[in-house]
Structure 1
Amino acid sequence: NTVTVREGDNATLYCAFKASNFNGLRWYKLNQGSSPDHIIYAGSNGRRKEGRFTVELQSESCYLHIQHPSVSDSALYLCGVHA
């Protein structure tokens, strides 16, 4: 899905998944012409914050909240489930 954010607003990205042996989830930022950047890891349900990024993990879904996004945050984001 495409997420458009106005300057000053926070951004929220959503990821849904099904995994019988869930061992964690990682969010990546995919930059053109370079390898993916790891943003944040969540190993269990709940919230985890690293800098401007907060991950909110539930049983089969996950949200990535980006505080004060800027033009440099414009990219394709990927959630990867470790099972």
Structure 2
Amino acid sequence: MKKKDPKEKPESKIEVKSRGSRSEPDKNTPEKHSFPRLFLLIFIGDFNFLFLSSLIIFLLFSTFFAGPSDKLADASDIYL
């Protein structure tokens, strides 16, 4: 058996590395910018607003201009 020297470090010591706090970014991952996501949200939201506003305007005008004269066929319109 080997004799232990008092100056020798133990070999079975496991070193645990902490991932760090939230304020310190990880050095291995690059910084992610939120600009493309924000741009897409604004872009989609803008088209959503345009679609909904045009739909509401179309429904309002269709209800204003649809009257009793816009029916497809009356008995008085058919000529034999």
By the TM > 0.5 criterion, same fold?
Answer: no
**Higher fraction of helix:** 2
**Higher fraction of strand:** 1
TM-score, length-scaled by structure 2:
0.15
Bigger Rg, which one: 2
Q: Which structure would you say has the larger RCO, counting Cα contacts within 8 Å and 6 or more residues apart?
A: 1
TM-score, length-scaled by structure 1:
0.15
